[in-house]
Amino acid sequence: MPNKKRLAFYAGSGCGGCSQSLMLSPSLATMLDGADIAFWATRSGDLTEDEISQLDDKGIDVLMFAGPVDGEASIATAKLLRRKAKRVVAYGACAHLGGLCGLTNVIPGAKLRELAERNGGFIKPLSAVIEVDYVLPGCPPPQGMVERMVKELFLADDVPDVGTVFASSKGVCAQCDRKHLNNPLEEIRRFHAAPPDPDICLLDQGYICLGPVTRGGCGAVCLEANRPCTGCAGPTAGVLDQGGAILQSLASLVPLSGDISGEKEHRVLDSIQDIVGTAYKYSAAASLLKRRVNDGE
Amino acid sequence: MSDNKSFEPKIIAFLCKWTTYAAADLCGVSRMPYPSNISIIKVNCTGEVTADMILTAFEKGADGILIGGCRPGHCRYEGGNLKGANRIYLLKRALNEFGVNPERIREVGIAGAQGLIFQRAAEKFTADIRALGPSPVMSNA
Amino acid sequence: MMASNVICLLPHLDRVELVNGGELVASVSVPQAREAFSSYMRGRLAEDVPLYVQRIDAHCAVSQHLAAVRALDACYNASPPKGAIAIRRALAYAGVYYHHLEQLFFSRSSGDGGIAGLVRTDDELAAHDVLQALRRARDVVEILGGRGLTPERGIPGGVTVGIADEQLSRARDIASDLLGVALRSEEGFRAGGARWVEEQELSVPAYSLATVNDDGEASLCDGMLRIVDPKGSEVITGDASQVLPMMMEWKEDAPLRVGPLARLNAASGASTEQARELQKHLFDALGTSPIHRVAAGNWAMVIELVEAAELLSSALAGLAAGDSELHASLDEPGEGVGAIEGARGTLIHRYLLDAEGIVQEAQIVSPDSLMEADVNAALSSLIAESGPEVTDDTIERIVNTIGSYQPAYVPSAPFSLRIVRRDADGRVSQEWRRT
* pLDDT single digits (tens) A193-222: 778 999 999 999 999 999 999 999 999 999
Same domain for A267 and A129: no
pLDDT of the residue at C26: 56
Query: CB distance from B58 to chain A under 8 Å?
Result: yes
Rounded CA-CA distance A272/C367 in Å is 36
Taking CA–CA distances from A261, the nearest residue in chain B reads B72
Given a contact cutoff of 8 angstroms between Cβ atoms, the answer to whether B45 and B99 are in contact is: no
pLDDT of the residue at C10: 31
N- to C-terminal Cα separation, chain B: 22
Q: What Cα–Cα distance (Å) separates residue A254 from each residue in A203, B78, B82, B91, C61?
A: 11, 15, 11, 14, 36
The CATH code of the domain that includes C141 is 1.10.645.10
Write out the residue range of the structural domain in which residue C74 sits.
17-417
Whether C161 and A195 lie within 8 Å, measured CB to CB: yes
pLDDT of the residue at C22: 34
Same domain for A151 and A18: yes
CA dihedral for C81, C84, C90, C96, sign (positive or negative): negative
Strand B38-43 and strand B11-16: pairing?
Answer: parallel
Facing residue for A70 by CB, picked from C3, C155, C435: C3
Query: CB distance from A252 to chain B under 8 Å?
Result: yes
**Final residue of a structural domain among A89, A124, A155:** A155
Whether A107 and C42 lie within 8 Å, measured CB to CB: yes
Question: How close does chain C come to A276, measured CA to CA in Å?
Answer: 9
pLDDT of the residue at C55: 87
Facing residue for B100 by CB, picked from A247, A248, A295: A295
Query: CB distance from A141 to chain B under 8 Å?
Result: no
pLDDT of the residue at A58: 96
Same domain for A176 and A148: no
Instruction: Kindly list the partner chains of chain A, i.e. chains with 3 or more CB atom pairs below 8 Å.
Output: B, C
Per-residue pLDDT at A267 exceeds 90: yes
Does any domain span residue C234? yes
Does any domain span residue C274? yes
Question: How close does chain C come to A217, measured CA to CA in Å?
Answer: 14
Given a contact cutoff of 8 angstroms between Cβ atoms, the answer to whether A190 and C76 are in contact is: no
Task: Please give the residue that has the higher pLDDT: either C272 or A292.
Answer: C272
Whether B55 and A240 lie within 8 Å, measured CB to CB: yes
Facing residue for A248 by CB, picked from B51, B101, B135: B51
Rounded CA-CA distance A278/C255 in Å is 41
pLDDT of the residue at C9: 31
Does any domain span residue A297? no
Chain C environment of A190 (Cβ under 8 Å):
45, 47, 357
pLDDT of the residue at A45: 60
Write out the residue range of the structural domain in which residue A214 sits.
172-286
Taking CA–CA distances from B129, the nearest residue in chain A reads A295
- What letter represents residue C429's amino acid? S
Does any domain span residue A256? yes
Q: Which long-range contacts (CB under 8 A, 24 or more apart) does A191-195 make?
A: A191/A227, A191/A228, A191/C47, A191/C155, A191/C160, A192/C46, A192/C47, A192/C72, A192/C155, A192/C156, A192/C157, A192/C330, A192/C357, A193/C330, A194/C327, A195/A226, A195/C155, A195/C158, A195/C159, A195/C160, A195/C161, A195/C326, A195/C327
Does any domain span residue A160? no
Whether A104 and C416 lie within 8 Å, measured CB to CB: no
Rounded CA-CA distance A253/A183 in Å is 8
Rounded CA-CA distance B106/A113 in Å is 31
Does any domain span residue A166? no
Same domain for A277 and A180: yes
Taking CA–CA distances from A248, the nearest residue in chain B reads B87
Question: How close does chain C come to A277, measured CA to CA in Å?
Answer: 6
Say which range, A115-119, A164-168, B8-12, C414-418, has the weakest mean pLDDT.
Answer: C414-418
Question: How close does chain A come to B140, measured CA to CA in Å?
Answer: 7
Given a contact cutoff of 8 angstroms between Cβ atoms, the answer to whether C91 and C155 are in contact is: no
Question: How close does chain A come to B29, measured CA to CA in Å?
Answer: 32
CA C195 to chain CA centroid, Å, is: 24
Rounded CA-CA distance A112/C370 in Å is 24
Does any domain span residue C172? yes
Tell me which DSSP letter residue C253 carries. S
A221-264 pLDDT tens trace: 999 999 999 999 999 999 999 999 999 999 999 999 988 889 99
Facing residue for B51 by CB, picked from A244, A269, A297: A244
Whether A16 and C3 lie within 8 Å, measured CB to CB: no
Per-residue pLDDT at A112 exceeds 90: no
User: Apex CA A243: angle with CA A240 and CA A248, to 5°?
Assistant: 90
Facing residue for A295 by CB, picked from B50, B90, B99: B99
**Final residue of a structural domain among A93, A122, A155:** A155
Given a contact cutoff of 8 angstroms between Cβ atoms, the answer to whether C156 and C69 are in contact is: yes
Does any domain span residue A294? no
Mean pLDDT of A135-140: 97
**Chain A residues 94-123 with CB within 8 Å of chain B:** 106, 108
Given a contact cutoff of 8 angstroms between Cβ atoms, the answer to whether A61 and C30 are in contact is: no
Does any domain span residue C8? no
Query: CB distance from B12 to chain A under 8 Å?
Result: no
| Most A-contacting residue of B46, B70, B90, B107 (CB-CB within 10 A), to test interface | B90
Does any domain span residue A10? yes
Say which range, A12-21, A156-165, A285-294, C379-388, has the weakest mean pLDDT.
Answer: C379-388
Does any domain span residue C216? yes
Of A195, B28, A137, A92, the C-alpha closest to C80 is A195
Same domain for A223 and A143: no
Give buried/exposed letters for A187-201 (b at 16+ CB in 10 A, else e). ebebbbbebbeeeeb
Whether C4 and A116 lie within 8 Å, measured CB to CB: yes
Strands (E) across A47-114 are located at: 60-66, 85-91
Domain count, chain A: 2
Question: How close does chain B come to A25, measured CA to CA in Å?
Answer: 36
Per-residue pLDDT of chain C (435 residues; tens, 9 = 90+): 222 233 333 333 334 554 443 344 555 655 555 667 788 899 999 999 999 998 877 888 999 999 999 999 999 999 999 999 999 999 999 999 999 998 887 765 433 334 455 555 555 556 778 889 999 999 999 999 999 999 999 999 999 999 999 999 999 999 999 999 999 989 988 887 888 888 888 999 999 999 999 999 999 999 999 999 999 999 999 999 899 999 888 999 999 999 999 999 999 999 999 999 999 999 999 988 899 999 999 999 999 999 999 999 999 999 987 777 899 999 999 999 999 999 999 999 999 999 999 999 999 888 888 888 898 888 888 877 877 677 778 777 877 788 788 777 654 434 455 666 666 666 666 666 654
Q: How confident is the model at residue A41 (pLDDT cuts 50, 70, 90)?
A: confident
Query: CB distance from B24 to chain A under 8 Å?
Result: no
Cβ neighbors of B137 (< 8 A, separation 6 or more) are A289, A293, B58, B59, B61, B100
Same domain for A76 and A151: yes
| Most C-contacting residue of A10, A13, A15 (CB-CB within 10 A), to test interface | A15
Query: CB distance from B31 to chain A under 8 Å?
Result: no
Whether B101 and A296 lie within 8 Å, measured CB to CB: yes
Does any domain span residue C127? yes
Whether A272 and B140 lie within 8 Å, measured CB to CB: no
Instruction: Write out the H or E segment, with its range, that includes residue C404.
Output: helix C392-404
Does any domain span residue C202? yes
Facing residue for A225 by CB, picked from C1, C14, C160: C160
| Most C-contacting residue of A39, A43, A221 (CB-CB within 10 A), to test interface | A43
Domain count, chain C: 1
Query: CB distance from A285 to chain B under 8 Å?
Result: no
Give me the percent of chain A exceeding a pLDDT of 70: 92
Rounded CA-CA distance C329/C77 in Å is 9
B8-61 pLDDT tens trace: 999 999 999 999 999 999 999 999 999 999 999 999 999 999 999 999 999 999
